[in-house]
Amino acid sequence: MSRIGEQTRGATQASVDSPRDSTERTAVPPSPPIDHAAWVRAAVARYERPLIVYAHRLTHDLDRARDVVQETFLKLCLQDRSQIDSHLAEWLFTVCRNQALDVVRKEGRMNTNTLDNTPNPIAAPADPLANPAELLERRDQAQRALDHLETLPPAQREVIRLKFQHGFSYKEISRITGYSISYVGVLVHLGMKTLRARMAVPSG
């Protein structure tokens, strides 16, 4: 089990095992159902990796990114499942983003390149069934796209990644970043237009 999984299990178990006297039992709402811990563990299993990748691109520090994601899941332990289950991914990315930017601000490293791309330390594995020549071509195209993505303004990079890598809608991206839905659309449009134009130019 990951360090985050152990921490979150401890936090959720503590909420169940904490002693209360008879007065508190009548005044405080009942503890979350026992499956709350299982819900948190399932969220960790599904979202820990993409959140670390996302936080790493904001903090440029893998250890800091892991700490940010751990804090995000610890906060999840304290939430009412019924209030966020329908938009869990959006909630997690929003909290993770705010936490990461807060870390960067506190450490005095916030600048125009904070929403930057850095090499992915948790890269996806290659398709073992792909033809070697096809695989090389895919990698070349992907690397060219990443190279061009790095040249876009930070806000365009972030919304394009949230849209196409993490699969969020414009509305969800708006809630995560704080940008208006229309502005998210503009950023995606401008960024993709630039990328297509640059990808159309032969490399070499």
pLDDT digits (tens, 9 = 90+) for 93-108: 999 999 999 988 887 7
Residue 62: other Cβ atoms inside 10 A? 15
C-alpha separations of 1 from 8, 9, 50, 105, 123 in Å:
11, 10, 17, 31, 21
pLDDT digits (tens, 9 = 90+) for 166-196: 889 999 999 999 999 999 999 999 998 988 8
- Is 155 within 8 Å of 186 (Cβ atoms)? no
**Least confident stretch, 26-35, 62-71, 90-99:** 26-35
Domain 123-204 is in which class? mainly alpha
Every domain of the chain and the residues it spans: 1-111, 123-204
Q: What is the pLDDT of residue 141?
A: 61
- Is 100 within 8 Å of 59 (Cβ atoms)? yes
pTM of the entire predicted model = 0.61
**Least confident stretch, 17-31, 78-92, 163-177:** 17-31
CA within 13 Å, CB half, 138: 9
